[in-house]
Structure 1
Amino acid sequence: MLFDKVKAFVVQLDGERAGTEPVFHGGQAVAGRVLLELAGAARVSALRMRARGRARAHWTESRSAGSSTAYTQSYSERVEVVNHRDTLLAPDSGDISMLPAGRHEFPFSFQLPISLVTSFEGKHGSVRYSVKATLHRPWVPARHAQKVFTVIEPVDINIPALLEPQAGAREKVARSWYCTHGPVSLSAKIDRKGYTPGEVIPIFAEIDNGSTRAVQPRAALVQTQTFMARGACKQKRTVVASVDGEPVGPGRRALWPGRMLRIPAVGPSILHCRVLSVDYSLKVCVDIPGSSKLLLELPLVIGTVPLHPLGNRSASVGQFLQSWGLCTGMEPPEAPPEYSEVVRESQLPAASQGPFPLLNHPSVTLEGPYFACLQEFRYRPPPLYAEEDPHPPSEAGRPRCMTC
């Protein structure tokens, strides 16, 4: 039969290697080939290729309208971000082409739009890019071959808005069974808003426990996925990393002089998509026995372009530590790793549930507090005229000022 003559029909992209897949970004050209291997001569009507990129959100909600009536409401939204079609093989006169037995290659190439959305897979939505080839033959169902590729849109954390320190403070009065146990206050700072996977976030916090019970401070990196469709939205929160501090006794005060929280291999922030977004935040909270938690949230942006070494980082962090009165004189900080060295296509973000995961989770590294110290740059004023040259030469015919 004619169907048995097709031994192989696949789509390959340029840059593929064993175990690795190419990664693209907006404005880049995607090139590859469609491989067709025939065991014998076969008649082909056409060979067409289509590249597509879709951002999609979908979920359902069950609603009840009384004791016996229930229905399910469906929410769905889709945005086409890439749509390219091309014909790789088609007879000029509309007749049937006869391809001989053997291996045939049909190259293709197309340009991605300038602005794209990073590839993403979530519970209620996704962003997917693919190249699909369709082989049309007379009297035989069409045969398809598809290749999915990854797009990562660069997010540069070196812009001024992402280099600004983030800080906040909260306070509450601990109460249990209508009894007041005293005030508990929390203040926290981080040196900037933008980070990349593999970096360590130094958390500077102060916990003042004025209650009559010991409290437990914690910090966590939280990913928030937001899906939007038909005017409604659906959110999913996931804790991807966390760290615990030492308990703070009654009437005591504790200081975190740079408690380390390492960012695991997670996808970058998605901020400019109409149907879904991916945001990150650092949540610092204090667990109070018998009362609700004292929670402080600081926004974060996870990027792909790491911080320039010894650039704005030294100055901004130096000023940040001086405001907290911490020591200086340590070596300059190590440059963060490249995004491609930390995040690979096979790695997925953690899917821990609850407000904070267990500390014995394999992806969480617990480290004690450390004192982050940076070199302090002090700029002295320019020297006085008399200090620069005690006997400067005077110009001829020009009297010297006796007050200098």
Structure 2
Amino acid sequence: MTILNFSIEYDAVNSHNTFTNGDTINGRIIVEVSKETKVQSLVLMAQGKARVVWYQHYGRNHHRVFWADEKYYSIEHHILREARQDGTEVIGKGRHVFPFSFNLPDSRIPSSFKALTGKIVHKLKAELKQSMKLTKKAKSEFTFRSKADMDVPGLLEPQYGSKDKSLKLFGSGNVSMDIHTKRMGYKQGENVKFTVEIVNHSSRSVKPKFSLYEKKSFFAQGRRRVHTKEILKDKIEALASSSKDTVTKVISIPRELPPSILNCSIIKLEYRLKVYLDMKCTKDPAVNLHIVVLPEAAPATATAKQPASAAYGFEGFRNPTPPTWSTTPQQAAPRPFDPPPPYGAYAMPPTVTYFDKNSSLM
């Protein structure tokens, strides 16, 4: 085998190894060959896109696939451009390092996300073309965390919800409750304080309970698929018949909880605070309030310089003056190089593509 190693590495910019809007990604493509090798071209690509797919079954032998794509940006850099038809660009025996550097678009791009029904992926890809041979490919995903969107309507405004229920079977009278929160938006790890006012003018006692749950929504071809999952729950002291009470509770947003995703048209990640009255033999009255989970500020960029391999999760740090690429085997002692030449990148408005065919997630 002529090509012994073909891979992509990138440098981390913080201790979490995450990137955000406008960040610079510095890295390198590694090409290791066992002898002199003719190469037609070497191309680096960076992409951010979302994909949704699920199967809807209709009877035993028939099903339909619902599918949608959304693209956010595409960056392409020709490190070694196509030479002659005979592929006369030659790299010598040994290990070669081809550095790259580019800026992520400073626009509304959704965070990385993965679920069974859909995902949002940010990745690097490299392609090495040789005459009369299969194209060599390498890829590496990186974690993107979108900056907090403070333009969400009602984000910092108080939230309110109410519910009334009349009892006709297995009891009489009515029950009402009012829920108040200070605002809609909270950072990861922050406390949510809410007030519950309950008036029980019924002949039965009620058991107030509450929960924080996530709601994942996937959209394709005019259809929607929803998955919910309870994150935490608790209860409030039961309220006897013909009484009223006001209770204030505090819950903490788990620090590891992924931030809300509201800027993708085919995938939504939302959170709800649900307060309900547990009542036997009747439908429980419930109030659901929106909770927007905002990302914490990213850690400061580290000053040390250490390589990071995305494939193995090693952490490293940004090198502001990465070396240029070389077509000679890497030397043990480092030498000064000039920065790599700039190349074009373009960000695109989100475009949604729908399909109706068998396929799998990217």
User: Within 1, Cα distance between the matches of 2:208 and 2:299?
Assistant: 33
Identity %: 26
Residue equivalent to 1:129? 122
Q: 1:283 deviation in Å?
A: 0.9
User: Within 1, Cα distance between the matches of 2:185 and 2:7?
Assistant: 40
Structure 2 residue corresponding to 1:55, chosen from 50, 66, 82: 50
1:141 alignment partner, SS class: coil
The equivalences for 1:131-150 within 5 A come to 131-150=124-143
Q: 1:159 deviation in Å?
A: 7.7
TM-score (norm 1): 0.68
Listed one character per residue, the Cα deviations across residues 240-295 of structure 1 (whole Å, up to 9, x for unaligned) are 222221222223323212x1111112211222222121222211111112211110
Give the number of the structure whose alpha-carbon radius of gyration is greater. 1
How many residue pairs get aligned? The number is 298
Residue equivalent to 1:14? 11
Residue equivalent to 2:22? 27
Residue equivalent to 2:72? 81
Listed one character per residue, the Cα deviations across residues 59-114 of structure 1 (whole Å, up to 9, x for unaligned) are 121124xxxx7521221110111222222123544432222222211122333332
Contact 2:83 2:89 (8 Å CA) reproduced: no
TM-score (norm 2): 0.75
Structure 1 residue corresponding to 2:109, chosen from 101, 116, 124: 116
Q: 1:228 to 1:239 in 2, by over 3 A?
A: same
Q: 1:83 to 1:91 in 2, by over 3 A?
A: closer
User: Within 1, Cα distance between the matches of 2:55 and 2:61?
Assistant: 13
Contact 1:196 1:339 (8 Å CA) reproduced: no
Residue equivalent to 1:275? 266
Residue equivalent to 2:97? 105
User: Within 1, Cα distance between the matches of 2:110 and 2:266?
Assistant: 11
Residue equivalent to 1:347? none
What amino acid is the match of 2:45?
R
Residue equivalent to 1:37? 32
Contact 2:40 2:84 (8 Å CA) reproduced: no
User: Within 1, Cα distance between the matches of 2:230 and 2:283?
Assistant: 19
User: Within 2, Cα distance between the matches of 1:47 and 1:340?
Assistant: 34
Contact 1:241 1:262 (8 Å CA) reproduced: no
More strand by share: 2
Q: 1:157 to 1:244 in 2, by over 3 A?
A: farther
Structure 2 residue corresponding to 1:208, chosen from 179, 190, 199: 199
List runs of 5+ in structure 2 lacking aligned partners: 301-362
Greater CA deviation, 104-113 or 22-31? Answer: 22-31
Q: 1:28 deviation in Å?
A: 3.1
More helix by share: 1
Relative CO higher for 1 or 2, CA cutoff 8 Å, sep ≥ 6? 2
User: Within 1, Cα distance between the matches of 2:137 and 2:153?
Assistant: 48
Residue equivalent to 2:164? 171
Listed one character per residue, the Cα deviations across residues 16-66 of structure 1 (whole Å, up to 9, x for unaligned) are 78xx663222333333210112333333232222212111111121124xx
User: Within 2, Cα distance between the matches of 1:38 and 1:121?
Assistant: 35
Greater CA deviation, 108-117 or 119-128? Answer: 108-117
Q: 1:229 deviation in Å?
A: 0.9
2:237 alignment partner, SS class: coil
User: Within 1, Cα distance between the matches of 2:251 and 2:267?
Assistant: 27
List runs of 5+ in structure 1 lacking aligned partners: 306-337, 342-404
Q: 1:256 to 1:238 in 2, by over 3 A?
A: same
What amino acid is the match of 2:39?
V
